[in-house]
């Protein structure tokens, strides 16, 4: 079952949603999923900066919705 990525996850959110200047510490499984969910909010403004010092490795592929085999050894912030 593939989610429909063209529609916002929660159309009841106010539009636009202003993130301001936000930093997300940690782009592991939870941070990756959070970023994926934000990408599906109708209209976001502001800046989200991911803070992470690790690269994607083979063990991440099963838990991260935003990475593929081609992302191995890239920094998670990419």
- For 10-60, what is each residue's pLDDT tens digit? 566 667 888 999 999 999 999 999 999 988 887 888 999 999 999 999 998
Token readout for 46 is: 């502001």
The whole-number pLDDT of residue 14 equals: 65
The whole-number pLDDT of residue 44 equals: 87
The whole-number pLDDT of residue 6 equals: 58
Question: Which residues contact residue 34 at a Cβ distance below 8 angstroms, ignoring those fewer than 6 apart?
Answer: 24
Question: Which residues contact residue 11 at a Cβ distance below 8 angstroms, ignoring those fewer than 6 apart?
Answer: 42
Give the C-alpha separation, 44 to 38, whole Å: 8
């Amino acid at each position: 079952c593939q989610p429909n990525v063209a529609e916002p996850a929660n159309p009841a959110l106010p539009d636009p949603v202003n993130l301001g200047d936000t930093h997300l510490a940690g782009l592991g499984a939870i941070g990756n999923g959070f970023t994926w969910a934000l990408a599906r909010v109708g209209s976001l403004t502001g800046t989200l900066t991911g803070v992470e010092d690790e690269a994607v490795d083979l063990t991440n592929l099963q838990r991260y919705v935003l990475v593929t085999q081609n992302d191995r050894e890239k920094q998670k912030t990419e």
